[in-house]
A and B are shown apart, each in its own frame.
Chain A
Amino acid sequence: MDDVREHALANGLAVLTREVHTAPIATFFIWYRVGARDEPQGMSGASHWVEHMMFKRTQRLAPGDIGRMVEGVGGTFNAFTYEDATAYHETLPAEHLDLALEIESDRMLNAVFDPDDVEAERTVIISEREGHEASPMFRLMEAVETTAFRVHPYGHGVIGSKADLRSMTRDDLFGHYQRHYGPSNAVIVAVGDFATADLLNRIDQHFGAFPASSPQSSLAEREPAQNQARRVEVHHPGPFPVLMLCHHIPERAHKDCAPLLVLNALLSGPPSGPFGGGGTLRTSRLYQRFVASGIAASVGADVGVNIDPSLHRVVVILHPGGEPEPIEAAVLDEIQRLHDEAPSQAELDRVVRQTYAKRAITLESVTAQAVQLGMLEIAASWRLAQTLTDDLRQVTPADVQRVARAYLREPSRVTGWFLPAASNGAAA
């Protein structure tokens, strides 16, 4: 992804732009460096709740106004929160891009957090959480994260615990907003059909007068090294067993991330999606071992793209009634294979070719480009989006074997199982 330009306003607001003139549209993202990792004890889910409140009232806007403004010109809008950041975005017909600047500059500092709105949104968010609870994968992921991270807030999940969602107050949320929303803690990413110099002028008009915000030191404490394998089982009514077998890996900025991405491409598929993940290829090692052989229904693996050390995950969905033990043994066998045998250079060349092609297709949309630039900038640097294919090309077979032995090892393993059970916890 070439031709990205980097700018900064005097108040610290970072801006990344990329002109793309293939369709008359443009996307505007603003990323705040606040997510689950910035939430103190008792406030799990605060960042996500603040995200919801940003669609309510500002000093200028009433609930529903943002939807009417953006959709009224044919645009789309939304927001998402994850461990490291909260992002807001509008994709618009290019001539209406100023609407995004108006909306985002307004709610950067002027959200009101009306107490009645906060209370109405409390039940909405609890409802969102209860919707997630229908999924075995959500229940398992929550249990695995809690088991893997005992100190670091990556252990408490993005949506938050029900207890915290019930007890957090309007002032807790407003304080969280005031601490983390401001120009010095934000990154704008704009991609599409605009002239950069002109857009920068307009960004400066909308955001340039805001005073610099004080940089927030993260609450996130480093997770102590895990020296012994951990295990967690979720027994709950559900359709089939699911295995989530994880290992602690370093942060996205670490030099070992590229060989880990190659390792993961061998297991599952190349890092092609805007979030850095990708689908499972049918010729991948895990698909062949589990799905092509018929012993499981589906399989995937991914590498965390995070500021702090996170997890490499292998997820296997079994057929209903499937036996857990042989599946877990087979995953460990595939990991042992990575320890024992360096991959061939031909396999690595293939990963590079696949990554190039998949990214060319996935990144066709301006929105996907902005997501990738922003996510990498939050986790490490947007430049990784430019160098990704080259970084993977530099990885040697010995590098892959080295990172397999260094990270996918027994003491740093967290094994999670979702096991269908009757509602009383007995095996179903």
Chain B
Amino acid sequence: MTSGTRQAINADSVARHTLANGATLLVYPNPASPSVAISAYHAAGAVLETREHAGLASLTADALNRGTANRTFLQFSEELDHVGASLAFHADTEYAALGGRALAEDLELLLTLATDVLAHPTFPDDEVGRVREQTLTVLAHAEDNPGSRAARRFRELLYGECNPNGWPEDGYAETVREFEAGDLRAFHARACGPASLVLAVVGAVDPPAVRDLAEATIGAWNASPDAATPTDWREALDAADAPPAMPGEPRREDLAIEGKTQTEFLLGWLGIRRTDPSYYATIVANFILGQLGLGGRIGSNVRDTQGLAYHASSYAVPGLTRQPWSIRAGINPANVDRAIEASLHEARQLAETPPDAEELRLSKQALIGSLPLRLERNDGIASMLLTMERYGLGLDYLGAYAGLIDAVTADDVRDVTAAVMSDPAYTLVTAGPELPTS
């Protein structure tokens, strides 16, 4: 039998501390597991790159651990692999991030390596070349895969090509191919700094000891004097949040990919920010529309009733900027138009008529009741702590969460759906085999 005392996650149990260099540390001790998880984000996302350099933030994050002033990539990997630990880096449109796992006794190693990589990367030419080639292979795969191809084009159409939300996080083959190590060094010097960094540490740890350790490692990282400030990043984010030009009528593109048998489609609208007060009504509405059971109302119609698809569902993406609320499905090419019509029908239905009491109750209870499942693992808790910090939710957010969801009414659900999905100017991209002429 395994047991351990685990406290509720709130302002009493999570230690929050500002390190000497301005970075924020969050620590939650979980004695129930022998492991530790670290997670962090900082303001080095694609909002700080230009369209001509699409993918630079992502490639910089991917190449960050490929050599530092103190260790080669192989040495970095050997130190981690020796103890079965892992440490990975990534960048999305808004932020760059890192995530690490280890036995709790190896936390110092994780923080030492994370600091070395963030503060002293050298971006060796040969290593950058290899990461660039790997990225080009990933991009070739994305071009060949109907789901990825549709998703990439959907964002371009929705946001336009001049908005970092509109270009893929990992860029385009034609931009990535041109990146040299010097581009990565310059981006790192400009975009990476501790002032915006938030680090969460969760596991079998002692918070005061973690604080000392973090001060000695991450806390000792000083940014380049030319680094972008949090204000610069905020301005870039605001620019990316500027409303894109809307065409006033539906847009559709059908992309043909040789050798495929199934069509993937992505149909959607510009949604709301995670910080919008209607966020909780939106996630309840999305759950009803495209999640409950096997794909909510859309799954029920497209998959269960009509038998048209293996997967059909909807997603409301959270973000500091307005992100898509979309419907996606994989369909035999002969049935694409029927599935699109069915999806639009379900969206319009929810935008016009509030859900019945039972459907609303089930969806709210699903969102509330699943919270413990999301907090089972140390990395799940660390991720939740970062979400709370990123969106300014406060350390007592989890205690308030059930009330926030419970307060959503049937009319709220209809209204938030109508505010987004009653706009006739949806954006639709299909990708797969050549579609039959309709």
Binding site for B on A (CB under 8 A): 3, 18-25, 55, 63-64, 66-68, 71-76, 91, 93, 96, 119-128, 130-131, 133-135, 236-240, 270, 272, 281-284, 288, 291-292, 294, 297-298, 317, 319-320, 350, 353-358, 360-361, 364-366, 422-423
Q: Quick check: A122 and B307 within 8 Å, CB to CB?
A: yes
Tell me the smallest distance from the CB of B109 to a CB of chain A, in Å.
12
Known: A22-B32, A423-B259. A353 touches B84 (CB 8 A): yes
Minimum CB distance partner of B258 in chain A: A237
Taking CB atoms, residues of chain A closer than 8 Å to B332 are: 123, 126-127, 130
Minimum CB distance partner of A1 in chain B: B2
Query: Cα distance A297–B133 when bound, in Å?
Result: 8
Taking CB atoms, residues of chain B closer than 8 Å to A298 are: 134, 137
Taking CB atoms, residues of chain B closer than 8 Å to A288 are: 74
Name the 6 nearest CB pairs between A and B, nearest first.
A74-B369, A67-B293, A357-B84, A237-B259, A120-B307, A22-B32
Tell me if B377 counts as interface (CB < 8 A to partner A). Answer: yes
Scoring A131, A354, A355, A423 by chain B CB atoms within 10 A of each residue's CB, the highest score goes to: A131
Q: Quick check: A76 and B370 within 8 Å, CB to CB?
A: yes
Query: Cα distance A297–B62 when bound, in Å?
Result: 14
Scoring B35, B146, B300, B306 by chain A CB atoms within 10 A of each residue's CB, the highest score goes to: B35
* Of B81, B146, B309, B331, the contact of A354 (CB 8 Å cutoff): B81
24 pairs from A and B in contact (CB 8 Å cutoff) = A19-B1, A66-B293, A68-B292, A68-B293, A72-B362, A72-B369, A74-B365, A74-B371, A76-B373, A93-B372, A127-B310, A131-B311, A133-B261, A133-B262, A240-B140, A282-B74, A292-B73, A292-B130, A294-B126, A294-B133, A297-B138, A319-B137, A355-B84, A360-B35
Minimum CB distance partner of A279 in chain B: B86
* Of A22, A281, A350, the contact of B2 (CB 8 Å cutoff): A22
Q: Quick check: A67 and B292 within 8 Å, CB to CB?
A: yes
Q: Quick check: B129 and A19 within 8 Å, CB to CB?
A: no
Known: A22-B2, A25-B372, A360-B35. A353 touches B259 (CB 8 A): no
Q: Quick check: A320 and B136 within 8 Å, CB to CB?
A: yes
Interface hits, B240-285 → A, CB 8 Å: 257-262
Taking CB atoms, residues of chain B closer than 8 Å to A320 are: 136-137, 140
Q: Quick check: B293 and A358 within 8 Å, CB to CB?
A: no
Tell me the smallest distance from the CB of B336 to a CB of chain A, in Å.
12
Q: Quick check: B1 and A20 within 8 Å, CB to CB?
A: yes
* Of B32, B74, B141, B257, the contact of A23 (CB 8 Å cutoff): B32
Query: Cα distance A127–B329 when bound, in Å?
Result: 10
Tell me if B352 counts as interface (CB < 8 A to partner A). Answer: no
Tell me the smallest distance from the CB of B21 to a CB of chain A, in Å.
29
Taking CB atoms, residues of chain A closer than 8 Å to B432 are: 134
Minimum CB distance partner of A76 in chain B: B373
Q: Quick check: B365 and A73 within 8 Å, CB to CB?
A: yes
* Of B1, B136, B137, the contact of A317 (CB 8 Å cutoff): B137
Contacts A123-B308, A240-B137 supplied; 12 other A-B pairs, CB < 8 Å: A22-B3, A71-B366, A72-B369, A73-B369, A75-B370, A127-B330, A130-B332, A292-B74, A319-B133, A357-B83, A364-B33, A364-B378
Tell me if B227 counts as interface (CB < 8 A to partner A). Answer: no
Chain B 2-34 interface 0/1 with A at a Cβ cutoff of 8 Å (1 = within): 111010000000000000000000000000111
Chain B 135-153 interface 0/1 with A at a Cβ cutoff of 8 Å (1 = within): 0111011011111000000
Query: Cα distance A319–B310 when bound, in Å?
Result: 31
* Of B3, B84, B262, B371, the contact of A130 (CB 8 Å cutoff): B262
Q: Quick check: A25 and B145 within 8 Å, CB to CB?
A: no
Q: Quick check: A134 and B373 within 8 Å, CB to CB?
A: no
Known: A23-B32, A24-B372, A73-B365. A356 touches B84 (CB 8 A): yes
Q: Quick check: A127 and B308 within 8 Å, CB to CB?
A: yes
Taking CB atoms, residues of chain B closer than 8 Å to A294 are: 126, 129-130, 133
Tell me the smallest distance from the CB of B394 to a CB of chain A, in Å.
22
* Of A76, A130, A239, the contact of B141 (CB 8 Å cutoff): A239
Query: Cα distance A298–B330 when bound, in Å?
Result: 27
Query: Cα distance A386–B81 when bound, in Å?
Result: 23
Taking CB atoms, residues of chain B closer than 8 Å to A281 are: 77, 81
Tell me the smallest distance from the CB of B300 to a CB of chain A, in Å.
6
Tell me the smallest distance from the CB of B260 to a CB of chain A, in Å.
5
Query: Cα distance A72–B292 when bound, in Å?
Result: 9
Tell me if B305 counts as interface (CB < 8 A to partner A). Answer: yes
Q: Quick check: A365 and B102 within 8 Å, CB to CB?
A: no
Q: Quick check: B310 and A125 within 8 Å, CB to CB?
A: yes
Tell me the smallest distance from the CB of A396 to a CB of chain B, in Å.
21
Tell me the smallest distance from the CB of A51 to a CB of chain B, in Å.
13
Known: A131-B310, A237-B258, A360-B35. A67 touches B294 (CB 8 A): yes
Tell me if B425 counts as interface (CB < 8 A to partner A). Answer: no
* Of A125, A134, A283, A297, the contact of B78 (CB 8 Å cutoff): A283
Query: Cα distance A91–B178 when bound, in Å?
Result: 47
Q: Quick check: B2 and A127 within 8 Å, CB to CB?
A: no
Interface hits, B346-386 → A, CB 8 Å: 361-362, 365-373, 375-378
Taking CB atoms, residues of chain A closer than 8 Å to B102 are: 357, 361
Scoring B309, B310, B311 by chain A CB atoms within 10 A of each residue's CB, the highest score goes to: B310
Tell me the smallest distance from the CB of A426 to a CB of chain B, in Å.
12
Minimum CB distance partner of A354 in chain B: B84
Tell me if B322 counts as interface (CB < 8 A to partner A). Answer: no
Tell me the smallest distance from the CB of B85 to a CB of chain A, in Å.
7
